[in-house]
Amino acid sequence: SVCQMVLLVLAYTSFCFISYHVSSDWALFGTTTLAWALYHALDGRINECTHSNVADQKSYGGRSMMKFIMFLNSTNTVQLNQFSPLKRDWQSGKFARLPRETGGGSENGVFPMKNLTEELAMIDHDVIAPILALEEEEEKPYIPKIDHGIVAPLLALVTSIGLIANFLALYGVYRFKHLHNTFGVLCVVLALANFGDSSIHLVWGALGPYLFDKRTLHGKRGKIVGLYYSMEKNVVITALFVAMPITLALIQVSPLFWTDHCYMIYFKDCKVPGWGHADTKCNNMYSFYVDFLIPLVVFGGIVLLDGIAISSIRKAIKTIAKYDENFKFKLIMEIGFLVQSVCQKAFSIIGYASLSVISKYASNNDWVLFGTTTLAWPLIHAVDGIVMFIFQARRDFNRSPSSVFRVEKAVVEVMKLDSRELKDEKNAVEGEKMNHQDVPSKKRPN
């Protein structure tokens, strides 16, 4: 849990913060699109390795606290917000040849959700004529700075790693019996979310520009894809809090159903391809209060509860060590779940920082902007899957006959030691009783 949280923090930092401060096109790509895909891959890897490193033991201590941590750990949303340089540049007309007031874009500019004909139908006749003249004007072909021949294979590679890592994480939960519990269900939901997110980045981001036209990318199906990013993380595991995250997810995505002015689009033909919100009043409010502040509050709660959990576990281990070494050994194995969550969330927070903060300083370099926004998004999911897989694989590698023998031998030695101590204590008590019985006989007069 700790490792996954670290991963999520890193991904968020890269996507929301670092991407704003980069000046290179490749750095922008790495901190956005690639970072997002890598996050899911590493998250699955962590889940896989953690599950492989923990012995097949039933859960013992800290259930209530771990369930509450899982609840906050499972409620997070990652999206581009209104601070995204992609959205900022689009508002300033950087990616479009048509005036912003029209809501339209040229063939090489930004495509809105509705096609140009529908937009022009709602514009006064005095405005239509200049726009049509501009559209018919012959200009030199727009050549983006970023080579799309490099972007597509890079995104495909990262998303493929994320798909494989999260699939292995799912297999690890199925294979290992110690994950057939609440935490295992959490890992399944997280791996499935990463798998779906990586699939969308693969089909929509890497292959979409070559397979779909603008109506497919920005039409109703495009809105469904944008809707997925708001819902995929708001999943709860524990039965106690099942209604709260679902309600939060429905509230979060409700503007996408009620109005046509809230949606996300994929800028495939701009010089820095990536996801972003359309320039509408609804999106301006939605991107900040829903997509930016909610994850920020959730991350703060996760960090706070993880710190409390770690402190409580350390105190519990010191207390248990005085009474039962075997129970202490089992509790230490349970800490692996918390470490996995913290690692994943840490990477996610970094990605969130990249998307929200770092990307603000990357407007001078298209590749850096691309890395801190578009690439950071799938990179987060890829890294998240890799982290889950790493934690599972560690257990699998450590389950050799010698290691199992050492563990069993250690437990047997502890039990023997306890039995010897009990036997010595019993003998001491019996000897003391005998001494008390012999003392009066020695004091009898001759």
Name the band, by pLDDT with cuts 50, 70 and 90, for residue 282: confident
Q: Is residue 377 part of a domain?
A: yes
Q: Is residue 429 part of a domain?
A: no
Instruction: Burial-class residue 219 by CB neighbours within 10 Å (0-12, 13-18, 19+).
Output: middle
pLDDT at 384 over 50: yes
pLDDT at 215 over 80: no
Residue 50's pLDDT is what?
A: 63
Report how far residue 14's alpha carbon sits from residue 370's, in angstroms, rounded to the nearest whole number. Answer: 11
Arithmetic mean of pLDDT, 97-115: 37
Going by C-beta distance under 8 Å and a sequence separation of 6 or more, which residues neighbour residue 2? 306, 310, 338, 339, 340, 341, 342, 343, 344, 345, 346
Q: Say if strands 274-277 and 264-267 run parallel, antiparallel, or are unpaired.
A: antiparallel
Q: How far is CA 209 from CA 116, 216, 325, 378, in A?
A: 19, 10, 59, 16
Higher pLDDT, 150 or 250: 150
Residue 15's pLDDT is what?
A: 79
Which range, of 29-38, 115-124, 255-264, 340-349, averages the lowest pLDDT?
115-124
Residue 288's pLDDT is what?
A: 74
Q: How far is CA 142 from CA 139, 269, 273, in A?
A: 8, 9, 14
Arithmetic mean of pLDDT, 16-30: 81
Report how far residue 261's alpha carbon sits from residue 280's, in angstroms, rounded to the nearest whole number. Answer: 6
Burial 388-405 (b: 16+ CB within 10 A, else e): bbbbbbbbbeebeeeeee
In the chain, what's the furthest Cα-to-Cα distance? 135
The mean pLDDT value of the chain amounts to 64
**Number of domains the chain is built from:** 1
Which range, of 197-211, 213-227, 245-259, averages the lowest pLDDT?
213-227
CB atoms within 10 A of CB 88: 17
Q: Is residue 113 part of a domain?
A: no
Q: Is residue 290 part of a domain?
A: yes
Higher pLDDT, 432 or 383: 383
Higher pLDDT, 75 or 182: 182
Task: Give the residue numbers spanning the domain of 251.
Answer: 2-85+151-399
What's the pLDDT tens digit per position in 153-193?
888 888 888 888 888 888 888 887 777 777 777 778 778 87
- Residue 292: which CATH number? 1.20.1070
pLDDT at 87 over 60: no
Report how far residue 395's alpha carbon sits from residue 413's, in angstroms, rounded to the nearest whole number. Answer: 23
Q: Is residue 406 part of a domain?
A: no
Q: Is residue 230 part of a domain?
A: yes
Arithmetic mean of pLDDT, 313-328: 67
Which range, of 130-144, 352-366, 409-423, averages the lowest pLDDT?
130-144
Whether 44 contacts 390, CB under 8 Å: no
pLDDT at 323 over 50: yes
Higher pLDDT, 248 or 446: 248
Name the band, by pLDDT with cuts 50, 70 and 90, for residue 61: very low
Q: Is residue 99 part of a domain?
A: no
Mutual orientation of helices 2-16 and 325-356 as an angle, nearest 10°? 10
Q: Is residue 116 part of a domain?
A: no
